[in-house]
Amino acid sequence: MDKMINVGGVNCYRPVDLSDNLKGGLIVIHEVWGLTEHIKNVADRFADLGYFVLAPDLLSETEIAKLDTTNLQHGLFNPEKRNEVQPLLRELMTPLHMPEFGTQTNDKLLKVFNELYSMPELKRNISVTGFCFGGTYSYNLAVREPRLKKAIPFYGHNDYSVDELKNIKAKIMAFYGEKDESLVSNLDDLKSRMNQAGVHFEALVYPDCGHAFFNDSNPYSYNESAAKDAFTKASAFLTK
């Protein structure tokens, strides 16, 4: 049986705790499509490995939450429907780029982090992973929260300066798809900035994959072999 719980005003999905000897806490941040069944499934998989997982719903107060996001994301990745869907998506995404939304979302994530950090059974071993929108906010949390142990962003955006990146104390393993050109084309620069900032940063790029290759609910973007390998590597990185 699964649960939705409220953490400091933030609704979170919390899988059933299956382990008596928890390895730590993990925040799972959803894609821009919101807290979907796919993300809940990802949270369940990490909980099965022995982590106390919280997956916050960060878009419940936006227009996106009112729509059929499954059809929207399929349309975005389907070449035959992309041009039809893109104008609507641009309209929906505009509020998400406002500074106020960013501030509120970062504050929500800190509340969720503090909830996990306060649990003695987790021994202050708290990490984060996220996808697309969630990958970007995984980077954000790493910059803002020096107590974070590890961050595992999937195809997240990071344009922080070297001085800002110096705030990161967590170790980072990031995942990208080779065909996700807008992110991969800037990856060498990100590696350089991370190196200058003294951050432990690993980045894996999977060939023949694009954006959202981990999302098994989207037949247009999912790459099974890459997704399985990424989950195995992310799990090992968490327990290393």
Q: How many domains does the chain have?
A: 1
Q: Where do we find the tokens 């996700």?
A: 180
pLDDT computed for residue 186 by the predictor: 97
Question: 3-class DSSP state for residue 188?
Answer: helix
Quote helix, strand, coil % in the chain, to nearest 5: 45, 20, 35
Within 8 A by CB and 6+ apart from 165, the residues are 143, 193, 194, 196, 197, 199
Sign of CA dihedral 113, 144, 129, 57: positive
pLDDT computed for residue 13 by the predictor: 97
Distance of CA 135 to the CA centre of its chain: 4
> How are strands ordered across the β-sheet holding 3-7?
3-7, 10-14, 51-56, 24-29, 126-131, 150-154, 171-177, 201-206
User: Could you list the pLDDT tens digit for every one of the 240 residues in the chain?
Assistant: 458 999 999 999 999 876 778 999 999 999 999 999 999 999 999 999 999 999 999 998 887 766 667 777 777 778 877 777 777 777 777 888 889 999 999 999 999 999 999 999 999 999 999 999 999 999 999 999 999 999 999 999 999 999 999 999 999 999 999 999 999 999 999 999 999 999 999 999 999 999 999 999 999 999 999 999 999 999 999 998
From the number of C-beta atoms within 10 Å of its C-beta (0-12, 13-18, 19+), residue 143 rates as buried
pLDDT computed for residue 72 by the predictor: 73
Orientation of helix 69-77 relative to helix 82-93, angle to 10°: 130
CATH number of the domain where residue 221 is located: 3.40.50.1820
Contact 35, 55 (CB under 8 A): yes
Structural domain of 114:
3-239
Distance of CA 105 to the CA centre of its chain: 13
Q: Where do we find the tokens 């999302």?
A: 215
pLDDT computed for residue 146 by the predictor: 98
